[in-house]
Structure 1
Amino acid sequence: MNSNDIVLGVTNNLVSNGITNKDMLFDYNSFLKHKKMVANSAWEVPSTTITPIMERLLFSIGQGIQGNVVCLGSYYGYAMLWLVLGNNNNAEYYGLDIDSLACKYAENNFKRLFKQTDNIHIECRNAVNYVEEFEDKSINILFIDVDSNGSKALYSLLIDKWYKKLKNGALILAHDPCIDKFAEDFNKYYKFTGDRRHFSKEIILPIDECGIHIARVEGDEYESN
């Protein structure tokens, strides 16, 4: 089975199980067109763990977005790129990273690719502190790929701080759940997403060596610690 068939099956499963909205789909022809756009723009990134199959999945998720998207640990913007490319609903996108050089490259990457980037915001800011810049229940997608001294230890803190900013029905996408050295960090993270008072459903998708965890926000009001 090739990457396209796998992603098509995954997206159908996510929709049928109520994790993502029915608007989510995988359009290979549209993906291929955008893939060529990225190649022609000479997108710059020194390295990335976003594999071709993950590109397709993020592109598919992007097609179901109806509001704001925030990427914590956006680096050169490559994961965020595929959420942007899949979307046709004029969403607002925010990429946060503490690496000033990476932020500069991310901003330049998007400007080379798009004529208009007013809805794409790259901020060299700490993901923990920047949360107060957003209104409560204003975010539809929260993508997390933040490293802390070679670990994912901040994931639990980030979900605690950002939860109140997420709309009911929003998705949290956490990268790297399949990496063995991050198992302890993710076990702590799962204590939050496993709370059915605040998250209706969750799933780990081992579609590549890093994988991605998706949790759907639904439930009671939540007060961060």
Structure 2
Amino acid sequence: MSTLKNTMSLREQKKRQTRLRILKVAESMFAEKGFDQVMVNELAERAEVSQKTFFNYFPSKAATLKALLIDYLEESNLWAHTTELEASVESAIVPPNVEEIQDWVVQRRQLLQLIFRHTDLFNSIYLMEGDGEEGERLFPAKYKQPRVERIRKAQQMKVVRDDISAEMIADMYDYVRIDMVRRWLCLSDDIATPERYKREYQQGIDILLKGLSA
């Protein structure tokens, strides 16, 4: 039994390493050549896998774009772990590592523009419960649940207004922050400065938090 578990563990580890290698190569090649100029056979060759293996991991080239963003969001979701809730609207709704997330967005502007243009991932935030596949959502239920629970606690503390459901409040935050990112991605490079993105992001969130305060 122990040998079987070890074998499965090694197999899963190898699969994870292969998947990560494909994604790393994809991100690098998209940055070098642009999405449309990268062929799957070239991507597979540089990642040292066959095209069949590539498609075992990703159904399409665009699927690698989705995976790059979703993987980062899962890794950066500090609320998947226990963090202390302060008696403030901001603590309940805005993640404690928001500046780190903003820096990631700024550093990967080109990648996010590709995701915006070649996938429907950003639009998935508007899907209602039961619509589409969970794996096709930018913020699946398991990602959002820690924030929802924090908002409920803040409502019990009379910090956040309780005439709106915690789920709706969590969605409202996602609508604002993603719309701010999309707005910035659509700006020309000469005016899409990091400072502008962060300033307008904060302005949008401040308005939201003010409206949600109990």
Q: Which TM-score band (shorter chain)?
A: under 0.3
Q: Name whichever structure is richer in strand by fraction.
A: 1
Q: Name whichever structure is richer in helix by fraction.
A: 2
Which structure has more RCO (C-alpha within 8 Å, separation ≥ 6)?
Answer: 2
- What is the TM-score of this pair, normalised by structure 2? 0.26
- What is the TM-score of this pair, normalised by structure 1? 0.25
